[in-house]
A and B are shown apart, each in its own frame.
Chain A
Amino acid sequence: MKQLPALARVFAYVSLLTVGGGMAAFPELKTLTVDVHKWLTLQQLIHLYSVGQLAPGPKMMMVVPIGEWVAGVAGAVVVLLAFFGPTAVLTLIVGRVWNRLAEWPWKTSIQKGLAPVSIGLMLAGSLTVAKGAVTDWITATVALGALVILLLRSVSPAILVLGGAVVGALVFLPQ
């Protein structure tokens, strides 16, 4: 229970860094939850993130189980509110003034400038994940395979994730 304020602080802060997508905040999420607060291991964080790919709705619902592990139902609720609340308020405000910004020349500059930086942040986040997830040539093949298939064909990502589970079960299960 005494961890609730820390949960609220960490996830509100991390949510403000999800520019372009949840992945952008991953390096910071890793630093705070794994290194600073030791709520879980990097391996567990990557597992939760990966399992989250199979859940419906917005990605990054993996923040919920982190809250649950640390402080039960209350932890899960606090994390949800902290992760979605502040950015929702911010979005609401920007959405309401957006039309008034139409003539403001810097609006385009901000959009153009933030686009490559947010892609860079997401790439940096996915490399952080890759460092923990791609550890040998088999996992490298699975990752590369999923990447190529998705770029060439329109397949449901969930199928590929399940395919990864099957490959994992066949290859990595100790006999």
Chain B
Amino acid sequence: MSDAAAKPDVSVADIFREFLVIGATSFGNIVPYLRNSLVVKRRWIDDDGFIELMSISETVPGLNAANIAVLLGDRLRGLAGSTAALVGVCLPGALVMYMAGIAYHIHGERPIVTAMLKGVAAASTGLVLATIVQLGQKSLTYISDFLFVVVTVVAVNRLHQSVPRVLLSVGLIAVLWYRPRQKSAQRNP
């Protein structure tokens, strides 16, 4: 790695502890928590570096938080750091959901639980849509972008095509659409 900045002296245990805390205390969008902890508080990476990790995370499969943990852990302490970060960030939520799953199995049929879950599911739907709208505001620029969004949604929800098929076909067309160009680097909106 051609990292110009000197790597801070961080132990694998430090990495595990920090990511465990993030994994236990972050609610909703986890990215601001990661940035606050890793860039502002610990200074394990600077803002540019963090943005780079974000863009790698968004390009490869996997949840962003997990991917950032893997990438930063690797840069700090190689494979061991990477594993420590990933386990740390996942463990608290996994334990919470493990117990929630058991509780749901026992009490899920009670009228009060069913009633509450109906409201929870509806609110969560709004939550996910808000995340997508915010993401869209950030990364959809051209008419072609919106077109690719629409084609993807129609292919999955209306034409009932499988996700991998859509990802490969529409994804390939979109990548080719934005193929490297010699003359005009910028495409008109």
Interface residues of A (CB under 8 A from B): 15-25, 27-28, 31, 44, 46-62, 64-66, 68-69, 76, 80, 84, 87-88, 90-92, 94-96, 98-99, 105-106, 108-130, 132-134, 138-140, 142-148, 150-151, 156-158, 160-161, 163-169, 171-174
Contact = CB atoms under 8 A, between A and B. Distances in A.
A71 to B, nearest CB: 12
Contacts of B174: 112-114, 116-117
**Majority DSSP secondary structure for residues of A touching B:** helix
Nearest to A59: B63
B62 A92 contact: no
A36 to B, nearest CB: 12
B94 interface: yes
B13 interface: no
B93 A116 contact: no
Contact of A52 (B30, B65, B97, B130): B97
Contacts of A90: 60-62
Given A28-B164, A56-B96, A88-B66, A165 B74 contact: no
Contacts of A174: 111, 115
Interface in B56-106: 56-67, 70-71, 74-75, 79, 82, 86, 89-94, 96-98, 100-102, 104-105
Interface string B171-187: 10111111110000000
**Majority DSSP secondary structure for residues of B touching A:** helix
B115 A161 contact: no
A65 B49 CA distance: 35
B188 interface: no
Contacts of B126: 142-148, 150, 160
Interface of B: 1-2, 22-30, 52-53, 55-67, 70-71, 74-75, 79, 82, 86, 89-94, 96-98, 100-102, 104-105, 108, 111-112, 114-136, 139-140, 144-153, 155-157, 162-164, 166-167, 170-171, 173-180
Given A57-B65, A90-B61, A106-B179, A166 B119 contact: yes
Nearest to B28: A157
Contact of A124 (B63, B104, B156): B156
Nearest to A141: B122
A88 B69 CA distance: 9
A121 B163 CA distance: 7
Contacts of A116: 139-140, 144-149, 152, 174
Contacts of B55: 111
A87 B123 contact: no
Contact of B139 (A46, A91, A119): A119
Given A110-B175, A133-B122, A65 B100 contact: yes
Q: List the 6 closest A-B pairs by CB distance, nearest first.
A: A65-B101, A168-B119, A120-B152, A164-B123, A146-B126, A57-B93
B119 A128 contact: no
A119 B115 contact: no
Given A20-B58, A116-B149, A156-B28, A161 B127 contact: yes
A113 B175 contact: yes
Contacts of B145: 115-116
Contacts of B71: 91-92, 95
Contacts of A50: 117, 120-121, 123-124
Contacts of B140: 115-116, 119
